[in-house]
Amino acid sequence: MLERFFQLREHNTTARTEILAGITTFLTMSYIIFVNPEILSTTGMDKSAVFVATCLAAALGTFIMAFVANWPIGMAPGMGLNAFFAFTVVGTLGYTWQQALGAVFISGVIFVLLTVSGVRTWLVAGIPHSLRSAIAAGIGLFLALIAFSSSGIVVANEATKVGLGDLTSAPPLFAILGFFIIAGLDALKVRGAILIGILVVTVLSMATGNSQFYGVFSTPPSLAPTFMQLDIMGALHTGFVHVILVLVLVEVFDATGTMIGVATRAGLIEEGKPNRLGRALLADSTAIVAGSFLGTSSTTAYAESASGVQAGGRTGLTALTIGVLFLLSLFLAPLAGAVPAYATAPALLYVAGLMLREIVNVDWKDVTEATPAALTAMAMPFTYSIANGLAFGFISYVVLKAVTGRFRDIHMATLLVAILFVIKYGFFAE
């Protein structure tokens, strides 16, 4: 049955290889079941319900990828998008988490329409490579600031805005230890390095009396506190124009780039041959809509799927395995609830460092490319907003190209996004 459905022989693979590849990918991305509830619970959302929503959204998205696209790619709520949801939309702009879920739903519907119509491909092709790289790096810096803050390594300072926290207290010490465990294990090519780091710090925290042990296994907690709680009408408020725009843009670049990169590495996209990219793109966009009903931020394709591809994964059976493991994770609720913020902070910080690598792809010799890229990356942490970073980047790109007589270099997609941001700040400023 597996052979017939997933076409294993055609992809020169076996069921055993695919299942092992799925386990490998799950280990590298399963940290999200601990990190996502920690981030979204800062909005007032029930942490246990978000844990369930995270597992279900990841499983559902990955199952769609398995059965619709037959690709070995894992799906889960995206890092960066969850931070934007919690710390910008709710924390800074002051909207409710229900309205934020409504914005996720609307962005998902728009995402589906963009995918079906082919506009998504047009958008990706039209956005400058330097800006795409800077967006990833900027989100990395934003995550780093959140990690430093949540662990107490960086604290508020009246004179200098930010300052160094008390490094002799438990939270910073545990966070530093966790970071070195993760970095060291990853350097040694140990699978699941991020997950191991989170669990080691959590166990040590319990052993030293800094956090409580609630157990490891239990029946899954209730999803009711977040299920169907989205406020769509509230998200149609004019202030949400740029929120939805940012969600769509980041979803477009992040998910599309990840899928193309992983699929190319797996040999699933070959020049001149038919592929299932269209189905894969539809799978990730529909998963966002489903996630908004469950009660989590936008679901996206995970770059960690490359680890499964490296282990031999070539079909949807790898994705099916990942999805099943996310469902089994539902029974780990007590452990997830016991993970302190300073245990997930090292994971955030390490992922942030990986995202910063994208900055090398910017053409630093061309000022009209480098300056907008730098503004994009810097504005995100310094204004505590992914949205502002995108606005700074797109607007400055169009302006610099225009004033230097290179207007023809501006793709219509880039010009359109820049105009939308100008309209937002000019007419819909909070």
15 in Cβ contact with 8 (< 8 Å): yes
Least confident stretch, 51-55, 71-75, 153-157, 248-252: 248-252
Tabulate helix, strand, coil % of the chain (nearest 5). Answer: 70, 5, 25
pLDDT tens for 89-110 read 899 888 899 999 999 999 999 9
Q: Is the pLDDT of residue 137 over 60?
A: yes
Average pLDDT over residues 167-188: 95
pLDDT tens for 279-311 read 888 888 888 999 999 999 989 888 788 778 877
- What is the model's pLDDT at position 183? 94
Average pLDDT over residues 146-156: 91
Average pLDDT over residues 200-229: 90
Average pLDDT over residues 260-289: 75
pLDDT averaged over every residue in the chain: 87
173 in Cβ contact with 180 (< 8 Å): no
The Cα 250–Cα 254 span in angstroms is: 6
Query: Sign of the C-alpha dihedral, residues 265, 268, 269, 272?
Result: positive
Average pLDDT over residues 410-414: 91
287 in Cβ contact with 299 (< 8 Å): yes
Query: How many CB atoms sit inside 10 A of residue 276's CB?
Result: 18
- List the chain domain ranges: 2-427
Average pLDDT over residues 246-269: 76
- What is the model's pLDDT at position 266? 75
% of the chain exceeding 90 in pLDDT: 41
- What is the model's pLDDT at position 428? 57
Helix (H) or strand (E) holding 133: helix 129-150
- What is the model's pLDDT at position 274? 56
Q: Is the pLDDT of residue 327 over 80?
A: yes
The Cα 53–Cα 56 span in angstroms is: 5
Does the pTM surpass 0.85? The reply is no
Of 355 and 206, the one with more pLDDT:
206
Q: How many residues belong to the chain?
A: 430
Of 124 and 429, the one with more pLDDT:
124
- What is the model's pLDDT at position 369? 95
Q: How far apart are the first and last CA of the chain?
A: 56
pLDDT tens for 330-359 read 998 888 888 888 988 998 898 888 888 888
Q: Which residues of 363-394 are buried (b: 16+ CB within 10 A; e: fewer)?
A: eeeeebbbbbbbbbbbbbbbbbbbbbbbbbbb
Half-sphere exposure of 296 (CA within 13 A, CB side): 37
The Cα 86–Cα 84 span in angstroms is: 6
> Residue 252: which residues within 8 A CB-CB, separation 6 or more?
111, 114, 120, 123, 124
Q: Is 83 left (phi over 0), alpha (psi -120 to 50) or beta?
A: alpha
- What is the model's pLDDT at position 189? 87
Q: Is the pLDDT of residue 239 over 80?
A: no
- What is the model's pLDDT at position 307? 76
Banded pLDDT at 16 (limits 50, 70, 90): confident
Average pLDDT over residues 57-63: 94
Q: Is 315 left (phi over 0), alpha (psi -120 to 50) or beta?
A: beta
Q: Which of 151, 150, 105, 79 is nearest to 288 (CA)?
A: 105
Q: Fill in the DSSP letter of residue 222.
A: P
Q: Is the pLDDT of residue 268 over 80?
A: no
Q: Find the DSSP H helices in 208-340.
A: 232-235, 241-265, 277-294, 305-310, 316-328, 333-338
